[in-house]
Chains A and B, each alone.
Chain A
């Protein structure tokens, strides 16, 4: 085990890990937005929107993310859209994770007891206000765990953007392996960094979960 090498490559990999974090950060929020749109259209009751939402989610979940990424980067120029790899990556991840999140969101919104809706409506709240003040706060607690699991999966999927030459953690690891021929050492450092990122995210999710469910205890 070449410990000296591991020590030497750490700064490089740290920089690349930071890129992974940035990508994950932006993809997460894009995913939430996409997810919210999907849930809103799915629960809207307008048939064409419901259908579109279902088809989108089904397609995204039923096809490999890698292929979606390739379409987003290599396929979009056919429509006159030129995306750089970094943005293509974020958009592809966001659109992908949004589909999965929408199922979690929808499930938790529907899981909020219908009586809550009735109580709020009987006080005179509009449908939207009821959703905002009564249903959503409760659904949040229910969906955080699932969203957390999805976020971890998303961070691992982000490794695929290395293929379109985004200099994130996996890309850098592969490059270093290619020049040093010490895959085990490089893998070890890269793995540790991924695990730190993932545990960091898990921590944030757990604290958020505690916050949103504090009224339950």
Chain B
């Protein structure tokens, strides 16, 4: 399963893509496929604070409800409100149109501690 190398990962299946001082966060194809049809993504408000390794949202599918985590701390600058009407975007395009939040990071160095694509695949047994 393709896992883009231009981002950093958590073992809990979130991806993080840094552009300037803003990190875009979503979940991987592996996670989206495991969840099956996603029915709801609970997103934070713009301006909300996100802490590293703390839950900032929830994702629901026909199968289960799970917390969403971030590997970095910061302030939410944008949310993908398309997901309210069409949560299935996370299934169809998890690394693109299925992105969830953008976070202005307090310390971009935190990203270095996250998993590379190879490490993520290894950790999750794929």
Q: Do chains A and B interact in one complex?
A: no
Chain B interface residues toward A at CB < 8 A: none
